[in-house]
Structure 1
Amino acid sequence: MNLKRFGLLTMLLAMVSIVAFAQEKASPAKTAEGTIKGSKITINYSSPAVKGRVIWGDLVPLGQVWRAGADDATTFETSKDIKIQGQTLPAGKYSFFIIPGETSSTFIFNKEAKQWGAYKYDQSKDALRVEVPSIQTSTLEERLVYEVKSDSFEIRWEYGKASAKIE
């Protein structure tokens, strides 16, 4: 290969790489953080988009364990012991799963923090399970969002929302 062709090929590969990196990832990594009652709360998740799909009851089946995001399992970390819905969760890092329902959902904090999806989810490693209300909203949330508030954290996606009280 002559030097001119090599240079042209190198430029072409560089341009393709730039275009590939410039495109937004389908489910970008996100972090929700906040402090509640002196405990730092950090939620790391991948944020998929609705893209015109029906999420609750279709893409995410009701009554089944869901990884609460895309790609790796969502993680929930607390710097101090906290109470979620009145039940104690010790300080630490957990994988976070949800069993969605129409009017209530189960939030699951699992001791095995590093997991891919929910494929190897093991209920015997649950540190805590709490029931929370699930509601339908009139506002479309295109991307999955977690938010740490002053006394709770919530998840919103499509027209669904669920939150848990933290003390």
Structure 2
Amino acid sequence: MKLPLIIIMCFSLRAVAQQPYTASFIAKLGTDTVIVETYNMMHDHLYGKAFLRYPEDRIGVFNFHFHPDGSIQHYSMSYMKPDSSYVTSSGTEGMICENDTCTWFAGWAGLESEYVNKRAVRHIDFIGGWTPTLSLVEWNCMRLMHSGKQNLPITLVNDYIGTRDVSLTKGNNDTLIFGGPFLEYAKIKATNEGRIMSYDGIGTPWNYIVSKHAPIDVDEAAKRMSKTHKIGIPSPQAQVHFSFGKDTIRLRYGRPFKRGRVIFGGIVPYDSIWRTGANDPTEIDLPFDIQFGQTIVPKGKYSIYSIPRKGAWTLIFNTDLQQWPTDPNRSKDLALIPMKWRIPRQQTDQFTIDIEVLNDGGVIKFTWDQTEAFAPFRIVKR
């Protein structure tokens, strides 16, 4: 699996960190602007504001304080209304790391008491989630270059999926490689000082194109942009049913939009396993055995993955329903099914899984953009 690739040049962390620095990032998801972030970096502090467009429009006011080794000592993020950044929107979250324990805390509207989750980890280096703090990427690149080492272990945390071990590694030709199976890959260009100028995250869980800018007034940007069309949840969850007589096949999956992007061979790389949707694992519940060619898939619940290829696909039924789908447990693969490929009659803007019902079986179809992959099956009667 591909890893994040970061193109960056050497610099001195100490020389930069002692000087106050302010800049902004703009992140686009296809044709939609989804993050406008302005940050300040000084000594062992990183703080600022970001206008975040999903799952709802809000301003995130963030603050990081780091241990001497550069890992996170304290983190907080308060979510404020986009038209008034001093009025709480949905609540606050944060983390404190000390004595080999990192404690996640959150206060949300509707909670009777503060949410607390303790994790027995020695350090946390990166916060994941709907929308990451982009300047934290820059901070970790600075850590590796200052260390003089070849590799920097990175522990990423997301309170929904837990912790993940990734890394930041020096590659060839002035490059850094950032991530692991969970993060896929990203390409970042930077100045001689290591300040990020652009970020290409196509094919990663955060499919952003990020550009660097002079400081932007986030409050003014939020007031203006919140009056435009809403982004909402970028890949809404769908639950669909397909009736076969008295039985029903049930399917649950996330449905991402095209958003002006190149889909297959772009945000969904060829020849790599794909979650076949977005967010949580795509899940299918079969009320009976089905047969693809000579392969029988017994009735039951499965997660679905696929491997898109030019001219042909592979459909994968996996018995693990819990694993986060960007890093599937391939030892739990039950069946690998060949799929045919064709160009549909109409371009499909939103990813769609459909099952065509036939007399003795059906056809499962994956359709998005100008691609349709399909595989016929028959019902095995007992």
Q: In structure 2, the residue corresponding to 1:124 is in which secondary structure?
A: helix
Question: How far 1:77 sits from its partner (Å)?
Answer: 1.3
Q: Which runs of 5+ in 1 are unaligned?
A: 1-8
Residue 285 of structure 2 corresponds to residue 77 of structure 1: yes
CA distance in 1, matches of 2:243, 2:292: 14
Question: How far 1:99 sits from its partner (Å)?
Answer: 0.2
Per-residue CA distance 1:91-133 (angstroms, 9 max, x = gap): 11111000001111000000002332231x1222111110010
Q: Which residue, 336, 339, 347 being the options, matches 1:129? A: 336
Aligned to 1:4: none
Bigger drift between 42-51 and 144-153 goes to: 144-153
Which amino acid is the alignment partner of residue 166 of structure 1? F
Question: How far 1:164 sits from its partner (Å)?
Answer: 1.5
Q: Which runs of 5+ in 2 are unaligned?
A: 1-83, 90-108, 110-225
Structure with more of its chain in strand, by fraction: 2
Per-residue CA distance 1:3-38 (angstroms, 9 max, x = gap): xxxxxx9xx668xx9x9xx86321100123213476
Residue 350 of structure 2 corresponds to residue 161 of structure 1: no
Aligned to 1:41: 249
Q: Which residue, 345, 348, 355 being the options, matches 1:141? A: 348
CA distance in 1, matches of 2:245, 2:294: 14
Q: How many residues align?
A: 153
Structure with more of its chain in helix, by fraction: 1
Q: In structure 1, the residue corresponding to 2:323 is in which secondary structure?
A: coil
Q: Pick closer, same or farther for the CA change 1:142–1:27 going to 2, 3 Å.
A: same
Aligned to 1:64: 272
Specify the structure having the higher radius of gyration (Cα).
Answer: 2
CA distance in 1, matches of 2:289, 2:247: 8
Q: In structure 1, the residue corresponding to 2:309 is in which secondary structure?
A: coil
Q: In structure 2, the residue corresponding to 1:55 is in which secondary structure?
A: coil
TM-score scaled to structure 1, two decimals?
0.81
Q: Which residue, 51, 76, 82 being the options, matches 2:259? A: 51
Contact (CA 8 Å) 1:95, 1:115: kept in 2 or not?
Answer: no
Bigger drift between 101-110 and 130-139 goes to: 130-139
Contact (CA 8 Å) 2:323, 2:329: kept in 1 or not?
Answer: no
Q: Pick closer, same or farther for the CA change 1:37–1:104 going to 2, 3 Å.
A: farther
Q: Could you say which structure has the greater relative contact order, defined with CA pairs below 8 angstroms and 6 or more residues apart?
A: 1
Q: Which residue, 92, 100, 106 being the options, matches 2:308? A: 100
RMSD: 2.5
CA distance in 2, matches of 1:73, 1:63: 19
CA distance in 2, matches of 1:37, 1:165: 18
